[in-house]
Amino acid sequence: MAVKTLTINGEQYSAQEGESILSVARQHHIPIPTLCHLEGLSTVGACRLCVVQVEGSPKLLPACTTKVEEGMVVTTSNTKLDKYRRMIVALLASEGNHVCAVCVANNHCELQDLAYQVGLVRVRYPYLYPDKKLDATHKEYVMDHNRCVLCTRCVRVCDEVEGAHVWDVAGRGINCEIVSGLNDNWGNSQTCTECGKCVMVCPTGALFEKGVTVSEMEKKKGFLKYIITARQKKEWVSISND
Amino acid sequence: MSKIITIAPVTRVEGHAKITIHLNEHGEVQDARFHVNEFRGFEKFCEGRLLWEMPGLTSRICGICPASHLVTSAKAGDDILSIGIPETAEKLRRLLTLGQWLQSHALSFFHLSSPDFLLGFDADPAIRNIFGLMQSHKELARRGIRIRKFGQQIIEFLGGRRIHTPWAVAGGVREPFTKEEQQKLLEWYPEVKETSLMAIKIIKEVQEKFAKEVSCFGNFHSLFMGMVGPKGELEYYGGNLRIMDSAGNIIADNIDPREYYKHFGEASESWSYLKFPYYKPHGYPKGIYRVGPLARLNICDFIDTPLAEKERQHFKKLAPSTEAVNNSFYYHYARMIEMLFAVEKVEELLRDPSIFGTHVRSKAEINKLEGVGACEAPRGTLFHHYNVDENGVLQKVNLLIATSQNNMAMNRTVRQIAMEFIDGPVIPEPVIPEPVINRIEAGIRCFDPCLSCSTHATGEMPLDISLIDVDGNVLDRRLR
């Protein structure tokens, strides 16, 4: 496989052909914020938080889905990028009903971490306060659409890793939401194996275990690396939840 | 031409309110109303949330007594899950409730009310506050702040933080208690006990000094309601309800708090967001009742801690044997007796080895679709009543708050003080006399009302008093 040489933030790096800019950046500890991306799942480029500037491109490109090219010159952080990332997080905050103080995922939430990371101190967009539902029909778990950021991690992990494909995306625009089965209550799903993978990969408090209270829902994602390594390499690595 | 005086906003109480004094055509006081003009809506927006979230959600109702809402909500959750919580968990919830009583009672007395008592009702408002007290009574102010801190420390040790802890949950509590925390509290304890006794001594002196105020600060007949323990002792966490009339007769006893709604109704008035609860058998407005320290001290047969019991006996002598203590000024004294009780009870619990158990949480599914939790919050009996669906999603929420139960009594107190201190017609000078403002505010403070709790606004609690004539014209308005 051919090796490509590219420049990121003024430094030269080499990468495998077909690798994404995000992958190269992560290997070299160059921080790029992400939300929908999760190592082990397919890449969808849905959240646009990982947008970077590529010389010669008239628009910003998502680092997770953009493949490296020979001689590519990439900037991962500058005033414009930082501003756009802050705008994205602010739009996510204003679009749902995210109230950290009483959320089950408080202090364990990737959206909250991102808000700190991008320096979001106030949201200048009007909050929409949508009237979204909470599906508590499942025996073990709850889906709270108020806190869903539509990253589709749950959809992908259920389809790609568990193989059950309980989740899908329905609707368009502001009415877009995650649905189980053919838009039925989660508790009625005949395909759900109750494995809880969707709950653990969910970056916010949208999916959580029934019975947990404020701040109690810690998301443990180490299982993903364990399963994928076992499948691909027949190696059973120790589970880390970092 | 009758007129109305408005006092708005009312200061040094928790929440937003205003007072209007209505004058008749001769310029004499005809009526006075305590309006609560903030609205929060917790009962509505909690609908659709999960039962397990409710303790964390409802503790956000108030920054003064979050622990009371937390425990009461957790108890409503216990009821719906239909489980008994571990012994250690109940004792730790009791300890948390006492921490709440201590910090709230200390706040009411030292921070909010003692500036009136120690600097005088007519002292300059600019110094008649906790900062003025720090200059004139440095040691006392320091002790007041420290005893409140002790209560807050109990809450922090148990719940991880002082305000809005989510530690109590349906089925018990989240974390056990440690010996290191117990030791730190026991080391602090002697100072707290000394301060509590000092507060009792001060309030007794105040009662002698302000004889005129004592005679008219909400001195009227009403019912009293609160919880008592199985032997009739002062109770703060569990127990059944008892109702007493103004003559000291027990008119209803042993009422399961789950059945509160059979005995108490809630009326509304167009001029206030605060509802007017009443005792159903007597109807509205005759079913006026009071809750909180004065009620609890009236209805209980005894207090099961020695120093507080001695003071209770002294308290009972404040009224003839044929009457309950009907004077609302004595809320302060009752509150300080309760603070002493809480101090003694905290020591008792801290020395109980069973508080170190590690099994503190029981788990269960939804076993009932309706549940009620009740406990004695610092300001009176607090009820949380939830209806859920089979998945634990809230369908209906009713919160009956102590301050709202005292609403009718607070209105009557304001009217009584206005009539007593506005001596003769206000006209031709349609202004609100300064001593009247001071005393009306102080009268409200007897009840230590928490308006953010009871209306389910944020921000400060300012004083707003209006003087209004018979045609509804505002003749004078004073803001502080």
Look at phi and psi of residue B200 and say left if phi exceeds 0, alpha if psi is from -120 to 50, else beta.
Answer: alpha
Domain-embedded: residue B466: yes
The residue among B42, B45, B46, B53 with the most chain A CBs within 10 A of its CB, best to mutate, is B53
Interface of A with B in 174-213 (CB under 8 A): 187, 210-213
Quick check: B60 contacting A, CB < 8 Å?
Answer: yes
**Both B210 and B107 in a single domain?**
yes
Query: CA torsion angle for B274, B280, B284, B287 (degrees, to 10)?
Result: -90
Q: Which CATH fold topology does A3-77 show?
A: Ubiquitin-like (UB roll) (3.10.20)
**What pLDDT sits at residue A197?**
97
Nearest to B102 by CA among B145, B151, B62: B151
Give the whole-angstrom CA distance, residue B115 versus residue B133.
6
Tell me, rounded to whole angstroms, the distance of Cα B135 from its chain centroid: 28
Quick check: A99 contacting B, CB < 8 Å?
Answer: no
- Which of B53, B391, B393 faces A213 most closely, judged by CB atoms? B53
- For chain B, the farthest-separated pair of C-alpha atoms sits apart, in whole angstroms, at 71
The residue among A145, A212, A214 with the most chain B CBs within 10 A of its CB, best to mutate, is A214
User: What is the overall mean pLDDT for chain A?
Assistant: 95
What is the amino acid identity at position A227? I
Q: Angle at CA B219, nearest 5°, toward B218 and B225? A: 80
3-class DSSP string for chain B: CCEEEEEEECCCCECCCEEEEEECCCCCEEEEEEECCCCCCHHHHCCCCEHHHHHHHHHHHCCCCHHHHHHHHHHHHHHHHCCCCCHHHHHHHHHHHHHHHHHHHHHHHHHHHHHHHHHCCCCCCCCCCHHHHHHHCHHHHHHHHHHHHHHHHHHHHHHCCCCCCCCEECCEECCCCCHHHHHHHHHHHHHHHHHHHHHHHHHHHHHHHCHHHHHHCCECCCEEEEEECCCCEECCCCCEEEEECCCCCEEEEEECHHHHHHHEEEECCCCCCCCEEEEHHHCCCCCCEECCHHHHHHHCCECCCHHHHHHHHHHHCCCCCCCCCCEHHHHHHHHHHHHHHHHHHHHHHHCCHHHHCCCCECCCCCCCCEEEEEEEECCEEEEEEEEECCCCEEEEEEEECHHHHCHHHHHHHHHHHHHHHCCCCCCCCCCCCHHHHHHHHHHHHCCCCEHHHHCCCCCCCCEEEEEEECCCCEEEEEEC
Question: How many CB contacts within 8 angstroms connect chain A with chain B?
Answer: 37
**Domain extents for chain A?**
3-77, 83-233
**What pLDDT sits at residue B436?**
79
- Which of A134, A213, A215 faces B393 most closely, judged by CB atoms? A134
Interface of B with A in 361-380 (CB under 8 A): 363
**What pLDDT sits at residue B445?**
85
The total of other beta-carbon atoms located within 10 Å of residue B210's CB is 18
Q: What is the pLDDT of residues A164-173, one digit of tens each?
A: 999 999 999 8
Q: What is the pLDDT of residues A34-65, one digit of tens each?
A: 999 999 999 999 999 999 999 999 999 999 99
The average pLDDT across A202-215 equals 97
Domain-embedded: residue B354: no
* B56/A136 touch (CB, cutoff 8 Å), yes or no: no
Quick check: A143 contacting B, CB < 8 Å?
Answer: no
**What pLDDT sits at residue B25?**
81
The answer to whether the beta carbons of residues A178 and A168 sit under 8 Å apart is: yes
* B391/A213 touch (CB, cutoff 8 Å), yes or no: no
**What pLDDT sits at residue B27?**
77
Give this prediction's pTM.
0.91
Quick check: B50 contacting A, CB < 8 Å?
Answer: yes
**Both B276 and B257 in a single domain?**
yes
Q: Extract the tokens encoding B126.
A: 């600019």
Nearest to A214 by CA among A95, A112, A99: A99
- Which residue pairs, CB below 8 angstroms and at least 24 apart, start in A128-133? A128/A94, A128/A95, A128/A174, A129/A97, A130/A95, A130/A96, A130/A97, A130/A174, A132/A96, A132/A97, A132/A177, A133/B48
Q: What is the pLDDT of residues B89-139, one digit of tens each?
A: 999 999 999 999 999 999 999 988 888 888 888 888 788 878 888 888 899
**Both B452 and B392 in a single domain?**
no
Using alpha carbons, list the distances in angstroms from residue B279 to A176, B47, B276, B288. Answer: 50, 27, 10, 7
Query: CA torsion angle for B416, B419, B423, B428 (degrees, to 10)?
Result: 150
- Tell which CATH classification among 3.20.20.410, 3.30.70.20, 3.40.630.30, 1.20.1250.20 matches the domain A83-233: 3.30.70.20
- Which of A102, A133, A216 faces B57 most closely, judged by CB atoms? A102
Query: For position B367, which CATH number holds?
Result: 1.10.645.10
The answer to whether the beta carbons of residues B376 and B235 sit under 8 Å apart is: yes
Q: Extract the tokens encoding B41.
A: 């809506």
Domain-embedded: residue B445: yes
* B391/A214 touch (CB, cutoff 8 Å), yes or no: no
Q: In terms of C-beta density within 10 A (0-12 exposed, 13-18 middle, 19 or more buried), how is residue A75 classed?
A: middle
**Both B173 and B75 in a single domain?**
yes
The answer to whether the beta carbons of residues B410 and B447 sit under 8 Å apart is: yes
Domain-embedded: residue B317: yes
- Which of A137, A142, A187 faces B50 most closely, judged by CB atoms? A142
Give the whole-angstrom CA distance, residue B220 versus residue B323.
11
Which residues of chain B fall short of a pLDDT of 50?
455-461
Q: Which residue of A has its CA nearest to B169?
A: A213
**Structural domain count, chain B:** 3
Interface of B with A in 233-292 (CB under 8 A): none
**Both B242 and B154 in a single domain?**
no
Sheet holding A141-144, edge to edge: A134-135, A141-144, A207-209
Quick check: B15 contacting A, CB < 8 Å?
Answer: no
The owner of tokens 């290191």 is B180
Q: In terms of C-beta density within 10 A (0-12 exposed, 13-18 middle, 19 or more buried), how is residue B21 classed?
A: buried
Distance of residue A117 Cα from the nearest chain B Cα, in angstroms? 25
Domain-embedded: residue B357: no
**Both B331 and B425 in a single domain?**
no
Domain-embedded: residue B252: yes
Domain that holds residue B439: 3-39+412-479
* B53/A215 touch (CB, cutoff 8 Å), yes or no: no
- Which of B60, B392, B393 faces A102 most closely, judged by CB atoms? B60
Q: Where does the pLDDT of residue A18 fall: very low under 50, low under 70, confident under 90, or very high at 90 and above?
A: very high
**Both B21 and B89 in a single domain?**
no
**Both B83 and B124 in a single domain?**
yes
Q: Which residue of B has its CA nearest to A133?
A: B48
The answer to whether the beta carbons of residues B380 and B299 sit under 8 Å apart is: no
**Both B210 and B278 in a single domain?**
no
**Both B57 and B180 in a single domain?**
yes
Q: Which residues of B touch A213 (CB under 8 A)?
A: 52-53, 55-56, 166, 169, 174
Bond prior to B281 in cis (omega within 30° of 0): no
The answer to whether the beta carbons of residues A50 and A74 sit under 8 Å apart is: no
Distance of residue B52 Cα from the nearest chain A Cα, in angstroms? 6
**Both B248 and B338 in a single domain?**
yes
The helix (H) or strand (E) run that includes residue A197 is: helix A197-201
Quick check: B49 contacting A, CB < 8 Å?
Answer: yes
Domain-embedded: residue B113: yes
**Both B150 and B185 in a single domain?**
yes
Nearest to A19 by CA among A87, A55, A71, A68: A68
* A134/B174 touch (CB, cutoff 8 Å), yes or no: no
The answer to whether the beta carbons of residues B237 and B93 sit under 8 Å apart is: yes
Q: What interface predicted TM-score (ipTM) does this complex get? A: 0.91
